[in-house]
Amino acid sequence: MKAKDKKRSGEAEIKMEDKKTMNTLKARLGKENYRKLIRIDNPKLHQFIAKYVELCNPDKVFVCTDSPEDIQYVRQEAIRAGEEMELAMEGHTVHFDGYYDQARDKKNTKFLLPPGVDLGLNINAMQREEGLKEIHDIMRDIMREHQLFVRFFCLGPLKSEFSIPAVQLTDSGYVAHSEDLLYRSGYEEFVRLGQSARFFKFVHSAGELDERMTSRNINKRRIYIDLEDETVYSVNTQYGGNTIGLKKLAMRPAINRASKEGWLTEHMFIMGVHGPSVGVTYFTGAFPSLCGKTSTSMLPGETIIGDDIAYLRKKDGVIRAVNPEKGIFGIIQGINSEDDPLIWKTLHSPGEIIFSNVLVTEEKGVHWIGKNEAQPKKGFHHSGEWTPGKKDAEGIEISLSHPNARFTLDMRHIETLDTELDNPEGVAIGGIIYGGRDSDTKVPIEESFDWVHGVITMGAALESETTAATLGKEGVRKINPMSNLDFLSIPIGKYIENHLNFGMELKNPPPIFSVNYFLRDADGNFTNDKTDKAVWLKWMELRSHREVEALKTPTGLIPKYEDLKKLFREVLDKEYPEKDYIEQFTVRVAENLARIERVEEFYKTKVPDTLQIVFEVLKEQKQRLTLAREKYGDYISPNKLSFTKKV
């Protein structure tokens, strides 16, 4: 065939394909939904939707625009179908995930990789063709008797260079409703972008539901990520971390895209810290789940842009960041009126909030572990009717609420929402924080010597004890680079290299800090109060403008006692005895050395593409610690550090 004829026949094929797509959509969507969909001029989008409508075979399809009526319809459907129940407080609803579907399922979350692509040992992957076949087989007719919601969102502010449009297909009203609270509506953005939209795609089905409206076939729970096609499939699960496409599922293709384009997708909050002389300074902070990330970003007196995910780009030699989200899917356990006044108030005010896996009381209120009110004697939750002492099928006592129980809300309900949330240019970042759950090694707050030292010893070496946010055993130490390991879609070595390079062209890289809210003393008690983090933030803000000095230890720069004493008084109106300072900031040499060895072992054995500089910087840290030990012993009080230098 001549080239011209070939082209012509190719065009004809596309026309045929388009026609077939349009006929399917017309037949399956009905007039009104079809009309809404074709306002978006994007044949690839149409084909994608037609393909999954045919495969999953829902009874009904609803195309949701940005109109308040459409959005309200989704919420009502979640309630009508029984996936959410209304609570006494106006706007509040509750949703339950299945008893064994309460957290991110790392085992069944896999990348589908074409031949020749390898993401390394730590990243769960399988052969692309095989995975696509498996998931498509599971998806066949999976939405029968369900309604399919077609949703359009924009990850990040509208009309911004940072942002990524995304389409979600889901048969869960709960998932679709959650996304309304968490993401910016994007139907009009899709209309505006038409064929130029480079969009992510998500297909989710809760699968067959039992009488309690929870996924029945969790043995066939699968979350498969196809990077080539920037599509994520999630089936037979309802837990938000497995299902809300735009949240953790979108992080995978976003990390991959960012790596190709020279920017970063991070598991980080963005918050404004308000200081005495500069006004507001924005910080990003990466913490593994359940390590105080949300509560830090919501500290009273500061302002929040996001609590979970950040896109970072370099612009004019400065890091700028946006939050792809606009809501919070936060952990509720432990929230109490004294430590978390702001979120407490929000959770007790009317307004749209979805509670998940909490205890519902007889009065249709909610209760959770750590709520500082009298505990109800009975209630209803993810295991059904509950009374204290109830045991599950394995004889394990069922707690009042699940440790990973959550609340979902739009941040506009939060008093301290920062005014820059929707700035298409993002905000300039003045400091970066890495936090982990560490009972015995790291000091509560420390600054790195420079960008490379921070990226390596605080970010790449981030280690944390596992929590209930993922299925599996709790309390096991795990290396979790930048707290982003669960979401990495590029080899770890390459990811660290991207971070190192990112700082290179910056005029003045922001300082990097590490925090540890979980240090314990010899008796096993926490050395800090939960509220102390407010002080660490103020200190970091001062440091980012070099308004206070710091003391040099073998592992970084720590606060001077006098500065903290003053800040504790100013911020918390609290006495800060020097003995507390010494307890908290004593350098625990043996523990630090052991930690570095674990980090080295991880990179040596599991990350073959680790850059040599990572090992060099870790080695230097070990040498500094060893030298200090020779002089001062295993536990070095900050007051004893005679080589301490003021910086």
Binding site for ligand SPV (CB under 6 A): 104, 240-241, 247-248, 289, 308, 329, 469
What residue ranges in 550-637 does DSSP mark as E strands? Answer: 550-552, 557-559, 587-588, 635-636
Identify which of residues 330 and 431 has a Cβ nearer to Mn ion in the complex.
Answer: 330
Identify which of residues 263 and 487 has a Cβ nearer to ligand SPV in the complex.
Answer: 487
Binds 469: which of ligand SPV, Mn ion, none (CB < 5-8 Å by kind):
ligand SPV
Active site residue 291: yes
Structure tokens at 408: 């979902």
- In this chain, which stretch among 66-74, 303-311, 372-380, 505-513 interacts with Mn ion, using CB under 5 A? 303-311
Q: Which residue is nearest to ligand SPV (CB)?
A: 241
How many C-beta atoms lie closer than 10 Å to residue 440's C-beta? 17
| Whole-number Å distance between alpha carbons of 305 and 420 | 7
Identify which of residues 308 and 410 has a Cβ nearer to Mn ion in the complex.
Answer: 308
DSSP 6-53: HHHHHHHHHHHHHHHHHHHHHHHHHHHHHHHHHTS--HHHHHHHHHHH
* In the complex, minimum distance from the CB of residue 225 to Mn ion, in angstroms, rounded to a whole number: 16
189 sits near Mn ion (criterion: CB under 5 A) = no
Identify which of residues 99 and 187 has a Cβ nearer to ligand SPV in the complex.
Answer: 99
| Whole-number Å distance between alpha carbons of 354 and 367 | 13
Q: Which of 326, 304, 510, 311 is nearest to 408 (CA)?
A: 326
Site for Mn ion in 390-419 (CB under 5 A): none
* In the complex, minimum distance from the CB of residue 52 to Mn ion, in angstroms, rounded to a whole number: 27
* In the complex, minimum distance from the CB of residue 296 to ligand SPV, in angstroms, rounded to a whole number: 13
254 CB-near residues (< 8 Å, 6+ apart): 155, 164, 200, 265, 311, 324
Site for Mn ion in 12-41 (CB under 5 A): none
Q: Which of 623, 552, 550, 563 is nearest to 587 (CA)?
A: 552
Identify which of residues 105 and 308 has a Cβ nearer to Mn ion in the complex.
Answer: 308
Cβ atoms of 548 and 563 within 8 Å: the answer is yes
Sheet holding 327-331, edge to edge: 85-86, 92-95, 353-356, 406-410, 327-331
* In the complex, minimum distance from the CB of residue 288 to ligand SPV, in angstroms, rounded to a whole number: 7
Binds 204: which of Mn ion, ligand SPV, none (CB < 5-8 Å by kind):
none
Catalytic residue among 56, 64, 154, 291: 291
The 8-class DSSP code of residue 209 comes to B
Identify which of residues 286 and 455 has a Cβ nearer to Mn ion in the complex.
Answer: 286
Q: Hey, what's the torsion of the CAs at 456, 460, 461, 466, to 10 degrees?
A: 160
65 CB-near residues (< 8 Å, 6+ apart): 36, 152, 187, 188
Three-state secondary structure along 94-155?
EECCCCCCCCECCCCEEEEECCCCCCCCCCCEEEHHHHHHHHHHHHCCCCCCCEEEEEEEEE
Identify which of residues 101 and 302 has a Cβ nearer to ligand SPV in the complex.
Answer: 101
* In the complex, minimum distance from the CB of residue 267 to ligand SPV, in angstroms, rounded to a whole number: 7
For 255, half-sphere exposure in the C-beta direction (CA atoms, 13 angstrom radius) is 29
Identify which of residues 170 and 586 has a Cβ nearer to ligand SPV in the complex.
Answer: 170
Identify which of residues 193 and 270 has a Cβ nearer to Mn ion in the complex.
Answer: 270
Binds 241: which of Mn ion, ligand SPV, none (CB < 5-8 Å by kind):
ligand SPV
* In the complex, minimum distance from the CB of residue 99 to ligand SPV, in angstroms, rounded to a whole number: 17
| Whole-number Å distance between alpha carbons of 573 and 575 | 7
Site for Mn ion in 307-326 (CB under 5 A): 308
* In the complex, minimum distance from the CB of residue 404 to Mn ion, in angstroms, rounded to a whole number: 11
Binds 147: which of ligand SPV, Mn ion, none (CB < 5-8 Å by kind):
none
| Whole-number Å distance between alpha carbons of 23 and 20 | 5
Which residue stretches of 122-249 are H helix?
A: 128-139, 173-182, 187-193, 240-243
* In the complex, minimum distance from the CB of residue 309 to ligand SPV, in angstroms, rounded to a whole number: 8
Binds 247: which of Mn ion, ligand SPV, none (CB < 5-8 Å by kind):
ligand SPV
| Three-state DSSP class for residue 466 | coil
| Three-state DSSP class for residue 283 | strand
* In the complex, minimum distance from the CB of residue 414 to Mn ion, in angstroms, rounded to a whole number: 17
How many C-beta atoms lie closer than 10 Å to residue 127's C-beta? 14
Number of residues forming the site for Mn ion (CB under 5 A): 1
Q: Among all residues, which ones are annotated catalytic? A: 291
Footprint on this chain of Mn ion (rule: CB under 5 A): 308
